[in-house]
Each structure stands twice: as structure tokens, then as C-alpha cells.
Amino acid sequence: MTLLLKNVTKRFGKHTAVNNLTLEIPENEMFGFLGGNGAGKTTTFRMILGLLERSSGDISWNGEKIDYEKSSIIGYLPEERGLYPKLKVKEQIVYLARLRGMNKREAADELQNWLERFEVPEYIDKKVEELSKGNQQKIQFISAVIHKPRLLILDEPFSGLDPINVEMLKEAVVDLKNQGTSIVFSSHRMDHVEELCEHVCILQKGTPVVQGSLREIKRSFGKKNLIIHADIPLDFLRDLHGVVRYKQTMEGCLLQITDENVSQNIFSELQGKGFVRKFELEEPSLNDIFIEKVGARYE
């Protein structure tokens, strides 16, 4: 059960929205899709769902074409949230679930379970417009997963939620993954992707710039972060060989260095200069990688 995108390209007239994207998302895996605004994430999702025709390339699920026959195994949470504002939660979730091939009773039972899991069982007979935005989002999430899809596409699933609700939804997503659902999700929040995904792809204006397993990406990135807390001025480190970036912090500075050997030079430079409270070498964060890969091309 793998989702396969092969050399997928989407052009709108002269504008290329997605350029030669190849992805493989295995079962039981959560795949992180990153990119700035307008990078082509939503367009890719819409092509996977068949809402947009691709200009070239192939998309298949388990070797088969994805069409409306498969809508019962696919779940989708669009970035632009939307439900019928005037309908009650139960009416619309049951309707949407039936469109995904569930029967009425199953859908009602599952909805009950999900509402209890999200600690909002009292919403079942409320109109959507009466709910807060965060709670509407929970309902929307339920509509995407209620039919136990094999492939789940989540476009910015955690945006606009408070930390408690983010945790609640994250847990639900991880559970679904463990039950065998393949999940593709996009986010601006690097920390969420870092926490949840084994594989990622960073899109930059439609072109994949980084792609692969998160661990591999970090290792091959090479650069490390160095955190120093000290009572002395650290400005002079800025010009040292092997220092890529220098950022002043409250208690010292944060350096990005080309490789871990550079840290040894810095360590010896600091010796005898004064009191150093913290000296820590760190793996680069996805955020650093994103900014470097995407930011560089913006210039």
C-alpha cells in the first residue's frame, strides 16, 4: 500500500506550480510535506485526489490509478476549512461519511467515539456555526478520518489550534498511522514535522529541493549548531573560519558551523577568555535546513 508520485509536473499556462516531483510514501508512514506559501503543496494534494489534472507524470496508489472509485479509502482535510455552517454536527458528518461509503449507523457510532475522544460529546446536536474555530477544526478532522481511510491527506492540520488541542490531534494522527494508514501532511511548523515524520520533502516554488529520510537529511546537511552561554563578549567568533552564521542571544550566542571539528577550534579560542557556562553542540533543526534551502533561493 504505497502512494507513488512519479515525475509529476503541473503547469498553469506558463506558470509551473509543481515541477518533476517524485515521491514514494510507504504504508504505516507519515510523510511531511514542507514548503513556503505557494510552493505547490496544495496543488500536489489536489492532483493526488484527482481534483486537478496533472500535466505529466504518474500518480498511483498500490499500483492503481486514483479515482472516485477509491474515495472510500481516502481521507482529506483541506487547508481551507469548511463545513455547512447551518447544519448540525451529526447531520453533516454523517452525510460526508456516507459520501465516503459508510452507512448511516456506522457513521453515527464512529462520530460518537471521536467526539468522546476529543472530549466534546455535547457538540453532536450543535450547529457548526455555534462552535469555536478550534472546535470546528476538530469536527473537520473527524470528517476526514471517520471512514478509516488507508490514505490520509492533511493540509496544515494543526494550524489555528491551541497547544492542548494540537497534542490531542497529534495523538490521533499517530494512532491512525499505527493502525496502518499512510499519511501525508503539510505544515509550516517544522517542529511538528520533525516530531512526527520519518520522511520529508521540501518544496521550493514547485521544485523539490530536499527529500528523503529525516535522519539522512540531517546527517548529510553537515552543519551543526553550537550554543554558547558566557559572560564575555563573543563577537569575535563571528569572523572565525568555519562559522556560517552568528546570532546574539540573551545569554551568549548561537552559531552555525560547517562541521563539528570547527567546534574544537572555538572551544580552544574561548579558553582563558572568561567564564563559559554552557557549550553545546547540536544537530541542525529542520527549521535551519528549511531556511537554508528555501531562503537561499529566495535571494
Partner 1 sequence: MNKFWLITSHTYLTKLKTKVFLISTILILVFMLVLVNFESIIESFEGDEETKVAIIDESGELLDDLSLLPSTGGDSLIEPYSRTLEEGKSQVLQGEYEALVTINLNDEGLPEATFYAKNITDAELQMEIQQKLQQLKITIATAQLGIDEAAMAEVFSPIALDKITIDDSGKSEEEMNQARGIVYMMVTLLYIAVLMYGNLIATDVATEKSSRVMEILVSSVSPITHMFAKIVGIALLGLTQIAIFALIAIVMLQSKQDQIGGLIESFGLHNASFSILLYGVLFFVLGYLLYATLAAMLGSLVSRVEEANQMITPIMMLIVVAFFLAIFGMNVPESQIVTITSYIPFFAPMLMFIRVGLLEIPIWEVFLSVGILVGTIILFAVIGAKVYKGGVLMYGNSSSLKDIKKAMKLTKKE
| Residue 46 found at the interface with partner 1 (CB under 8 A) | yes
The secondary element (H helix, E strand) that includes residue 81 is: none
| Residue 100 found at the interface with partner 1 (CB under 8 A) | yes
User: Residue 91, SS3?
Assistant: helix
| Residue 68 found at the interface with partner 1 (CB under 8 A) | yes
DSSP E strands in the chain: the ranges are 3-12, 15-25, 30-35, 56-61, 64-65, 74-77, 151-155, 182-187, 199-204, 207-213, 224-230, 243-248, 252-257, 276-282
| Residue 226 found at the interface with partner 1 (CB under 8 A) | no
Single out the segment in contact with partner 1 by CB under 8 A; choices: 68-76, 201-209, 210-218, 268-276. 68-76
Q: Which three cell numbers stand for residue 278?
A: 554552557
Strands, sheet with 15-25, edge to edge from the N-terminal-most edge strand: 15-25, 3-12, 56-61, 64-65
* Closer CB to partner 1, 54 or 224, in the complex: 54
Q: Write the interaction track for partner 1 spanning residues 113-152; mark x where CB under 8 A is met and - where it is not.
A: ------------------------------xx--------
| Residue 159 found at the interface with partner 1 (CB under 8 A) | no
Measure the CA–CA gap between 158 and 164, rounded to whole angstroms. Answer: 11
The binder of partner 1 chosen from 37, 63, 64, 80 (CB under 8 A): 80
| Residue 111 found at the interface with partner 1 (CB under 8 A) | no
| Residue 83 found at the interface with partner 1 (CB under 8 A) | yes
| Residue 71 found at the interface with partner 1 (CB under 8 A) | yes
Q: Do residues 76 and 140 lie in contact, with contact meaning Cβ atoms separated by under 8 Å?
A: no
| Residue 87 found at the interface with partner 1 (CB under 8 A) | yes
Provide the H-helix boundaries in 69-198: 89-99, 104-117, 133-145, 163-178, 190-196
* Closer CB to partner 1, 9 or 265, in the complex: 9
Which one, of 21, 110, 30, lies nearest residue 59 by Cα?
A: 21
| Residue 51 found at the interface with partner 1 (CB under 8 A) | yes
Which residues of this protein are in contact with partner 1, per CB under 8 A? Answer: 10-13, 46, 49, 51-56, 68, 71, 74, 76, 78, 80-85, 87, 92, 95-96, 98-100, 143-144
